[in-house]
A and B are shown apart, each in its own frame.
Chain A
């Protein structure tokens, strides 16, 4: 831990503390885990390196997560759209998933993660894919189409306030603010 403290310049560390919800120890731990994902030669300039998606998905915190591809896609700022992440993307992700992030920030990013077709609303297809992610990828673990219909109908009834058949960001944030489990489940701590 002492070694990695000297690898992040102090002003950069302070800047990261200001810009994210993470504490100093969390940023240092994130740096350590990020540099472990890089091959040995690239560890010196970890700040400018990009880790490919396949490496990110080996992290224990992400490998068991059904939304792993969506998380990488949402937080990656790569111009080549290959979902690779830089250290700042990684910090961004940890900041949103940290304990001290506000519920607005979390619900904003949760919306983006659940929006599988990236069209800015959660429509029936998105909800169907979301439920399938939750129940597992096998054939026998999916809900039947009648059950899926009933479930999506119930979800839209509870959250779709303007009755247009889709859930936009404000409706999503409204329904999630009343959900008691959201803050404790939408959390990743290294």
Chain B
């Protein structure tokens, strides 16, 4: 027995020894991998130098841009491997693959006529340029748009690959991936504190103890930082005094200010409605007139096609100017003013896209005099409506890119040249351009929302978005280095990160709505695309489930039924209330402990 015990102890220590050495070597291996992978991080050196020269606030904007490049690249890889690659494999017959086209049943022939003019014969070179910019002509028949994918199943040596199902699931997958990745990033960067009442970003301790960016290496940047910190501390102290004054307002003053605020909010709503209505009318006009064959090749036609994009860009530019002018009259504290203006701008930008899509759909389903009866949508004007929506998204994205480049080239650089070389008083008052982070961020989030909505209709759009953001990184970096003036209000890295991710999340949630309506509500076009044999795009999924064995079918139907959904919802509510109650209890305990410390 003594021998076996001894053997046991020896065995144990050997096991412990092995565990220790293996964990050590694992740690070493992990640190080696981490060291190597740090070389693979995109733009590590560029962002590090920006941080050194301009501080972490502006650096967070560039990190955000890098995140979007990676996100779009991964979405593109997803769509490519599950949708585009099988299509290419089957069209060129690689790996002994064959294609199955299932002819549509129970559909009137008139719905299936779709002849995209692929530019046959001799055409002007100008037509190619026009097609490149508006997605019509030769681009319409390429794999850029939904209409190209018309295969129903691909047989790759005995395996059947259901392409329509893959297309729909890839769409859901990239939406879910974006959602989870954004949530993960926002949780990483921000320690939300439910226990303490005060806003952690605005606390004085945060500004003083974590105020200095230790990574600043440039003496000029340090001078700017001194000034911005001084300004920030002074503004906050003044704001505190202002808050006291506000608390001492008389009843009469309060009524006056509240009625003024209501009035201004009504003006804001009127402006927003004006923008939305003009976008609606312009979209209807553009759709009606760009289908005219007689002046299809004139420059006017290109202008008409781009009219919605132009109007949206104008609205996005003028709206924020008006909002920041109006908010001065509402007499809020400076911090709240900024938040409210930002909220209004975000709403304006994202709602503009929504209105554009809404007006497109009203056109597609405009059934004036029985135009839609055979197919469920206006088949005469839009035989392949998904490609049309894809084209609109493509135009929006290209125009957005052109505007960003044009502003950088024709506004920022000349402005800098004028201000440095011309000492005219008017121009000096105009001043250098500030690098307004919130405006720049809203710009790229607007572009990303377009990409999310458009990828379902145009699978190559994420690739275009990746290239676009890649180029924008370098453009913005060059503009920043050459034309920057210190921003009066300092930007904090962590609150910026959180703000960017929240707005991005709002954009994503907004993208769910049009996609949901397109996939589940509007009948899919019968003349082109993968969902010709289904009434809506969503129908692929119930159709596939019906082919499963009955046991599995019942599981799926069970999940979708009320008998499952209602208890699930109730349990979710219970968990949420439990967590909130726990947080409240912790808060009470912390207050009690603080009191005890004081009494000690």
A binding-site residues for B, Cβ under 8 Å: 17, 23-25, 60-61, 63-67, 97, 110, 114, 127, 130-131, 133-136, 141, 143, 147, 150-151, 154-155, 158-159, 161-163, 172, 175-176, 178-182, 184-189
Q: How far is the CA of A110 from the CA of B210 in the complex (A)?
A: 10
Q: Give the nearest-CB partner of A138 in chain B.
A: B226
Check if A179 sits within 8 Å of B204, measured CB to CB. no
Given A24-B35, A130-B208, A187-B214, 20 extra CB contacts under 8 A:
A24-B32, A61-B217, A65-B216, A66-B212, A134-B229, A135-B233, A151-B208, A154-B204, A155-B205, A161-B598, A172-B209, A176-B210, A178-B196, A180-B206, A181-B492, A181-B495, A182-B206, A182-B209, A184-B56, A185-B214
Query: Which positions 229-283 of chain B face chain A at CB distance < 8 Å?
Result: 229-230, 233-234, 237, 240
A17-B31, A25-B35, A179-B203 given; A186·B210 CB < 8 A: yes
The 8 closest A-B pairs by CB, nearest first: A136-B226, A64-B222, A180-B494, A182-B210, A181-B210, A135-B230, A60-B217, A179-B206
16 pairs, A vs B, C-beta closer than 8 Å: A17-B31, A24-B31, A24-B32, A24-B35, A63-B219, A67-B214, A143-B233, A151-B237, A158-B205, A178-B193, A179-B200, A179-B206, A180-B201, A184-B493, A185-B213, A188-B214
Q: How far is the CA of A147 from the CA of B218 in the complex (A)?
A: 29
Check if A180 sits within 8 Å of B200, measured CB to CB. yes
Interface check B156, CB cutoff 8 A? no
Check if B191 sits within 8 Å of A178, measured CB to CB. yes
Residues of B within 8 A of A65 (CB): 212, 214, 216, 222
Q: How far is the CA of A94 from the CA of B223 in the complex (A)?
A: 24
Q: Give the nearest-CB partner of B201 in chain A.
A: A180
Check if B56 sits within 8 Å of A185, measured CB to CB. yes
Q: How far is the CA of A187 from the CA of B498 in the complex (A)?
A: 20
Check if A158 sits within 8 Å of B213, measured CB to CB. no
A59: min CB distance to chain B, Å: 9
Q: Give the nearest-CB partner of A154 in chain B.
A: B204
Interface residues on B, range: 35 or more
Of the candidates A25, A67, A175, A188, the one whose C-beta lies within 8 Å of that of B205 is A175
Q: How far is the CA of A63 from the CA of B227 in the complex (A)?
A: 18
Of the candidates B38, B200, B205, B230, the one whose C-beta lies within 8 Å of that of A143 is B230
Residues of A within 8 A of B193 (CB): 178
B44: min CB distance to chain A, Å: 10
Check if B200 sits within 8 Å of A178, measured CB to CB. yes
Check if B203 sits within 8 Å of A187, measured CB to CB. no
A170: min CB distance to chain B, Å: 10
Interface check B570, CB cutoff 8 A? no
Residues of B within 8 A of A187 (CB): 214-215
Q: How far is the CA of A159 from the CA of B493 in the complex (A)?
A: 22
Check if A64 sits within 8 Å of B218, measured CB to CB. yes
Interface check B198, CB cutoff 8 A? yes
Interface of A: prevailing SS: helix
Q: How far is the CA of A82 from the CA of B204 in the complex (A)?
A: 34
Q: How far is the CA of A186 from the CA of B234 in the complex (A)?
A: 23
Check if A23 sits within 8 Å of B493, measured CB to CB. no
Residues of B within 8 A of A24 (CB): 31-32, 35
Of the candidates B209, B215, B221, the one whose C-beta lies within 8 Å of that of A179 is B209
**Most interface-central of B190, B211, B495 (chain A CB within 10 A):** B211
Interface check B34, CB cutoff 8 A? yes
Check if B226 sits within 8 Å of A158, measured CB to CB. no
Residues of A within 8 A of B233 (CB): 131, 134-135, 143, 147, 151
A39: min CB distance to chain B, Å: 24
B binding-site residues for A, Cβ under 8 Å: 31-32, 34-35, 38, 48, 52, 56, 190-191, 193, 196, 198, 200-201, 203-206, 208-219, 221-223, 226-227, 229-230, 233-234, 237, 240, 492-495, 498, 594, 597-598, 600
Q: Give the nearest-CB partner of B55 in chain A.
A: A185
Q: How far is the CA of A65 from the CA of B193 in the complex (A)?
A: 31
Check if A141 sits within 8 Å of B226, measured CB to CB. yes
Q: How far is the CA of A185 from the CA of B212 in the complex (A)?
A: 7
Q: How far is the CA of A180 from the CA of B498 in the complex (A)?
A: 10
Q: Give the nearest-CB partner of A146 in chain B.
A: B237
Check if A134 sits within 8 Å of B205, measured CB to CB. no
Residues of A within 8 A of B240 (CB): 150, 154
B513: min CB distance to chain A, Å: 32
Of the candidates B190, B204, B221, B234, the one whose C-beta lies within 8 Å of that of A180 is B190
Q: How far is the CA of A23 from the CA of B27 in the complex (A)?
A: 12
Residues of B within 8 A of A176 (CB): 205, 209-210
Residues of A within 8 A of B223 (CB): 136
Check if A185 sits within 8 Å of B208, measured CB to CB. no
Check if A151 sits within 8 Å of B204, measured CB to CB. yes
Q: How far is the CA of A66 from the CA of B214 in the complex (A)?
A: 9
Check if B495 sits within 8 Å of A180, measured CB to CB. yes
Residues of A within 8 A of B204 (CB): 151, 154-155, 158
Q: How far is the CA of A131 from the CA of B204 in the complex (A)?
A: 11
Q: How far is the CA of A188 from the CA of B48 in the complex (A)?
A: 10
Check if A185 sits within 8 Å of B211, measured CB to CB. yes
Check if B226 sits within 8 Å of A181, measured CB to CB. no
Check if B237 sits within 8 Å of A186, measured CB to CB. no
Check if B597 sits within 8 Å of A23, measured CB to CB. no
Check if A179 sits within 8 Å of B205, measured CB to CB. yes
Residues of B within 8 A of A159 (CB): 205
Residues of B within 8 A of A185 (CB): 56, 210-215, 493
Of the candidates A17, A64, A135, A184, the one whose C-beta lies within 8 Å of that of B229 is A135
Q: How far is the CA of A157 from the CA of B437 in the complex (A)?
A: 32
A67: min CB distance to chain B, Å: 7
**Most interface-central of B31, B35, B196, B210 (chain A CB within 10 A):** B210
Check if A162 sits within 8 Å of B208, measured CB to CB. no
Check if B237 sits within 8 Å of A163, measured CB to CB. no
Q: Give the nearest-CB partner of B198 in chain A.
A: A158
A178-B196, A184-B493 given; A189·B203 CB < 8 A: no
Q: How far is the CA of A131 from the CA of B215 in the complex (A)?
A: 19
A158-B203, A180-B200 given; A141·B495 CB < 8 A: no
Check if A64 sits within 8 Å of B217, measured CB to CB. yes
Check if B237 sits within 8 Å of A135, measured CB to CB. no
Residues of A within 8 A of B48 (CB): 189
Q: How far is the CA of A74 from the CA of B200 in the complex (A)?
A: 29
Q: How far is the CA of A143 from the CA of B359 in the complex (A)?
A: 56
Q: How far is the CA of A135 from the CA of B230 in the complex (A)?
A: 5
Q: How far is the CA of A63 from the CA of B230 in the complex (A)?
A: 20
Q: How far is the CA of A179 from the CA of B52 in the complex (A)?
A: 22
Q: How far is the CA of A172 from the CA of B210 in the complex (A)?
A: 12
A128: min CB distance to chain B, Å: 11
Q: How far is the CA of A62 from the CA of B411 in the complex (A)?
A: 36
Check if A141 sits within 8 Å of B206, measured CB to CB. no
Residues of B within 8 A of A186 (CB): 210, 214
